[in-house]
Amino acid sequence: MKLLRKIIVGMMFGFICHVSWAADGFDLLREEKIGNLRIDLPEKEVKKAISCKEIRGADKLWGADGAYHQEWAYADCGIILDMVSDKKRGAKKVAAITLIAPSTLSTQRGIRIGSSTQEVMKAYKPFWNEEESDSNQFVAGSIYGGLIFTHKKKKVSGIFLGAAAE
């Protein structure tokens, strides 16, 4: 009986760990790419990856993380980046990526602006955070680090990769 109990407990532990590791939003945040863009991509690589005209916002200190954030917008490409550095006007890296129309970039699982809600569910169901999602947003991972797909008329209208909340 003790052996059977150990086997059952071991199987339950393995299942719980497997599920939690498979659906770790922070792994998704670290590993996901949108086109050639990813979190922590250095600014030199960003400049190589995006050919559209860039408009930079002001370098602002955020109290939430103590870092300097700057918006880099590429309207013709439908890309908005939150670039971050430790110092004002310091070397930056990608902290968050937002896609809107007319972006043609896609996630590693092939989701892009215009994809259906069914395609999103099929591609990201293992990461689905049902509690943080609603009828207009599908959260893969967490709002603290993951992918957020915004929907209009059952089609993806926006994609966000990063931390939407601190």
How confident is the model over 62-83, as pLDDT tens digits?
998 999 999 999 999 999 999 9
Whether pTM > 0.95 for this model: the answer is no
- Do residues 120 and 160 make contact, with C-beta atoms less than 8 angstroms apart? no
CA 61 – CA 84 distance, rounded (Å): 10
Q: Give the phi and the psi of residue 92 in degrees, each rounded to 5.
A: -110, 160
Percent of the chain with pLDDT over 90: 79
**Is the distance from CB of 76 to CB of 50 less than 8 angstroms?**
no
Q: How confident is the model at residue 51 (pLDDT cuts 50, 70, 90)?
A: very high
Q: Which residue has the higher pLDDT, 166 or 30?
A: 30
Encoded tokens for 11: 């199987």
| Beta-sheet strands, E only, within the chain | 33-34, 37-38, 55-56, 60-61, 68-74, 79-85, 93-99, 137-142, 145-152, 155-162
- Taking the C-alpha atoms of residue 161 and residue 29, their distance in angstroms, rounded to an integer, is 7
The pLDDT, as a whole number, for residue 26 is 76
pLDDT, position 128: 95
The domain ranges of the chain are 1-31+106-166, 33-99
pLDDT tens figures, 89-103: 899 999 999 999 999
